[in-house]
Amino acid sequence: MIRINLLGRARPKATRTTVPLEATLQYVLLVIALVVSIGALYGHYLLLDRENTKVLAHIQKQMGEKARLEQLKQQVDNFEKQRVVLQQRIGVIEELQRNRTGGQELFEAIANTVSRTDTLWLTSVDRKGDALTINGSAGSINAVANYITQLKRSGYFQTVEIKESHQDDTSKTIEIFTFSLTAQFGLPQPAGAAPAAPGNAAPAANSPPAARKAGNT
């Protein structure tokens, strides 16, 4: 549509709305603040992500270490079980060795102690490990006391104790005392070892065995 200005007046110019400078600065500052905030948040996110990666790596490492320690603990438990079994076997072997060792020495020591005691003979000698139970008969109580003294002096017997001693009433013609005593048998200590208790000297090498008396053991 064509418009004609009949009045001859000049057409007014369109007015422009101006934005105040202060508002513009506020907008700019707001944008800058948003950019800085976003950058700070992104940097914090990267930092947390890096820390999270380190923590995950540390956890994985600790889990691997835990698995290794559990495996090591299992090996230690197995070794401990084997050690207990071996210790039991060694104990059995040592016990058998103790029971076997000293058989001849025990026989000779008993024979020598009996031969040095008058009017005394043995009826039985029971051995369990190093523990002995000796039963016998004697013509008097003094003979029993002398025999205990000979056992202690031989060096082969320790902790000799009398269990019982009484007169045998079945014998009417002669006086007989039956006795039972206990003792611990052990080989004398070698030269240079700690000295034995007084009165426990080793028997003479050439002492004649009382074959007839000890044969009743």
Q: Strand ranges (DSSP E) for the chain?
A: 120-128, 131-138, 157-167, 177-185
pLDDT at 27 over 50: yes
pLDDT at res. 189: 65
199/98: higher pLDDT: 98
Residue 19 lies in a domain: no
pLDDT in tens, 135-152: 999 989 999 999 999 999
Q: Is 115 found in the same domain as 209?
A: yes
pLDDT at 216 over 60: no
pLDDT at res. 206: 39
Contact between 149 and 198 under an 8 Å Cβ cutoff? The reply is no
Q: Is 166 found in the same domain as 206?
A: yes
Lowest model confidence (mean pLDDT) among 23-32, 110-119, 135-144: 23-32
Give the pLDDT band of residue 6 (cuts 50, 70, 90): low
Enclosing domain of residue 90: 24-100
- Strand 177-185 and strand 157-167: the pairing is antiparallel
Domain boundary residue among 36, 69, 100? 100
pTM value surpassing 0.75: no
| Span 115-141, average pLDDT | 90
Domain boundary residue among 79, 100, 121? 100
Lowest model confidence (mean pLDDT) among 17-31, 65-79, 136-150, 186-200: 186-200
pLDDT at res. 149: 93
Total structural domains within the chain:
2
208/108: higher pLDDT: 108
185 burial via Cβ count (<10 Å: 0-12, 13-18, 19+)? buried
58/199: higher pLDDT: 58
Q: Is 171 found in the same domain as 112?
A: yes
Q: Is 59 found in the same domain as 125?
A: no
Q: How far apart are CA 105 and CA 186, in angstroms?
A: 9
Q: What are the angstrom distances between the C-alpha of 88 and each of 84, 95, 131? A: 6, 11, 21
pLDDT at 173 over 90: no
- Matching residue, tokens 């800058």: 32
pLDDT at 180 over 80: yes
Q: Is the dihedral of CA 89, 91, 92, 94 positive or negative?
A: positive
pLDDT at res. 214: 39
106: CB partners within 8 A, 6+ apart: 127, 132, 156, 185
Assign residue 164 the CATH number of its domain.
3.30.1360.100
134: CB partners within 8 A, 6+ apart: 110, 122, 124, 125, 180, 181, 182, 183
Give the pLDDT band of residue 91 (cuts 50, 70, 90): confident
